Amino acid sequence: MRTEGEAKPLALMGAAPRILVIQAPYYRTVVEGMRLGAERALAPLNAEVEVAEVAGAFELPAALRLALEAQGVEDGPQWDGFLVLGCVVKGETDHYDFICQAVCKGIMDISTETGAPIGFGLLTVDTLAQAEARSADDQHNKGIECAAAVVGQIKLARLWGLQ
């Protein structure tokens, strides 16, 4: 029996999904923690997970766009869904606000333009301790939530005959 706050196991009809994780590992332990949480959540589906790293959070939308364009190339990779993971910790300048807004808008624009199944996991936090709490090996891991989101989107795509 599940306890309050515990994620229910993911389920998906059809073939095991292929998931591309695009991650910005500036805060490596945080991002790796989220990715490992996502991989644990996807394990019951026998998901094939591929990881691509980018320099920083700002590069996440462009990398997602490149991955989607690669799907259109003959014999190119075919992913069922995408997880976008990163972390931005607030500092003393406006840089935080600009990066967070740009990345969120970039990913949302791609999502609405393409309908691609995306799990969005950019932590935007005030402190590193907050990020660590959201990437720990427990039920509060945001990577688990991202995995659930992308599986939900893949379910819809398959239901509606898009995959």
Does the annotation place 146 within a ligand binding site? no
Residue 94 and residue 147: Cα distance in Å, rounded? Answer: 30
Does the annotation place 103 within a ligand binding site? no
Residue 162 and residue 101: Cα distance in Å, rounded? Answer: 30
CATH tag, 18-159? 3.40.50.960
Does the annotation place 30 within a ligand binding site? no
Q: Which entry of 46, 95, 97, 108 is annotated as an active-site residue?
A: 95
- Domain ranges for the chain, please list them: 18-159
The CA-based diameter of the chain, rounded to the nearest angstrom, is 48
Residue 58 and residue 49: Cα distance in Å, rounded? Answer: 22
pLDDT of residue 9: 79
- At 64-79, the pLDDT tens digits run 999 999 997 888 789 9
Does the annotation place 150 within a ligand binding site? no
DSSP states of the chain: -PPTTPPPPP---SSPPEEEEEE-GGGHHHHHHHHHHHHHHHGGGT-EEEEEE-SSGGGHHHHHHHHHHHHTSTT----SEEEEEEEEE--SSTHHHHHHHHHHHHHHHHHHHH---EEEEEEEESSHHHHHHTSSSSTT-HHHHHHHHHHHHHHHHHHTT--
Instruction: Return mean pLDDT, the chain.
Output: 93
Residue 12 and residue 54: Cα distance in Å, rounded? Answer: 29
- At 78-93, the pLDDT tens digits run 999 999 999 999 998 8
Does the annotation place 102 within a ligand binding site? no
Backbone Cα Rg of the chain: 15
- At 87-112, the pLDDT tens digits run 999 998 899 999 999 999 999 999 99
* 95 counts as catalytic: yes
